[in-house]
Amino acid sequence: MWKYNITLILVVLLCVSCTNRHNEEIQRETEIPVSLCIPMSSEFYSHRSAARRIPGDPGKTEMFALPSYAYIFVLIYQDSKWKMLDIFEEIIPDEEWNPTHYIGLYKTEGDSIYHYTKKLQIMLEGQNVTGRAYAIASPVPLVFNKTLNSSAITDLDDLLELKIDISDDDTRDNLHNIYTTPYNYELSSVYYGTFDNNNTNVAPLNLLLYHIAAKVDITWNVDDEKRVNREHPEDAIRLTSMKACNLFNGNAYCFKPMENSSGASPLAPEAGTGDTITLVRPSDEGLWWEGRSYFYTILYTTTADGKGNYFPLQMEMETNGSGDKYRPTIYMEVNKSQPFVPWLRATFNINNLLEDETDEKTAPLTIDD
């Protein structure tokens, strides 16, 4: 799992009240420093973005925008149930971000961070209170499938069904910049965003935020001997078009990024609802024979053909500008026991011209994943 850098530190001021049998009210105040953070390399190119060199891809960097919006959800355990206590929506001005080095429970050597500090007031009843914090961070405002209030989201079950609408262009263009706290990330069998308020002594809460979107990394290569054909130049192979098609484009889980599903089959091409990303265009002469590209997408799994938990990467490829579209589906296995979205890789080795109706058993390419 790769991690990126931004830390959002929220100091939560808990006002604790307790009433005894004689109706004597005891109020206690305590501060809980809640750090929402995304580690990254130490190289910052501007105040609003940070760059990270991609392992295995010399000279290539990715740019990530810092969040302008944060959504924080606080629950308490009461009457044998996790109940929603408060929801905070924060707009973060640029000047309130400050770069520093990360110090905390999840420190990785060399990490740098941006941090933002805010005090939030929460009213708690009783001295012994267990709570949880969940968070979302994004550079663009997000549209959810539920209204963000305690009437629409009353408990943990409601919260875990919260989804982001990624059909909006701004949201889809920023999938690589949206981070959340996975609900099933545990430390010592306890959700890592859990805090205890015992006698006003609360340990700091450090939360690492992780990508909501998976990274799909594709490498392609035309066999050397197929790149030139002096006797029949028209048969020399050039990859003149390649697209990733029918990518997830709807409501995606906020805190359950590994649990989006299309059911028994991949998204149907004829439905026209999936997103498409172009990786090679006819004018990209430098990519006709080999190249590497990546994109971020909402991971979803299918049980098509009894394959179990697989992400169906649907491709559309064309050689030599022929107009013939070869459309293979590559089923990429997903380990759903982990809480974090994966970095998926596939390599296409093209050894023949691609045609519309190619038998997949004798496909003109081999795929390594």
Q: Same structural domain for residues 205 and 218? A: no
Is the distance from CB of 142 to CB of 158 less than 8 angstroms? no
Question: What pLDDT is recorded for position 197?
Answer: 74
pLDDT in tens, the chain (369 residues): 444 444 444 444 434 333 443 333 444 556 667 777 775 544 443 444 554 444 444 334 567 788 889 999 989 898 899 999 889 898 888 777 677 766 655 545 456 676 766 666 677 766 678 889 999 999 999 999 999 998 899 999 999 999 999 988 899 999 998 999 999 988 888 998 888 876 555 666 777 788 899 999 999 999 888 888 767 777 788 999 999 988 888 899 999 999 998 766 677 654 445 788 999 999 999 999 999 999 999 998 887 666 668 888 889 999 888 888 888 888 888 888 888 898 898 888 888 777 665 444 344 555 665
Specify if 1 maps to a domain.
no
Q: Can you give the CATH number for the domain in which 311 is found?
A: 2.60.40
Q: How many domains does the chain have?
A: 2
Between the CA of residue 82 and those of 73, 78, 128, 132, what are the distances in Å?
12, 6, 15, 9
CA atoms within 13 A on the CB side of 48: 9
pLDDT tens-digit series, residues 57-95: 433 456 778 888 999 998 989 889 999 988 989 888 877
Question: What pLDDT is recorded for position 168?
Answer: 85
Is the distance from CB of 342 to CB of 335 less than 8 angstroms? yes
Q: Same structural domain for residues 287 and 348? A: yes
Indicate the DSSP class of residue 133.
Answer: E
Specify if 354 maps to a domain.
yes
Q: Same structural domain for residues 247 and 340? A: yes
Taking the model in full, what pTM does it have? Answer: 0.82
Q: Same structural domain for residues 186 and 150? A: yes
Tokens read off for 210: 């992780």
Specify if 200 maps to a domain.
yes
| Residue 243: domain span | 214-368
Q: Same structural domain for residues 269 and 343? A: yes
Tell me how far apart the alpha carbons of residues 226 and 50 are, in angstroms, rounded to a whole number. Answer: 41
Question: 85: closest CA among 9, 12, 192?
Answer: 12
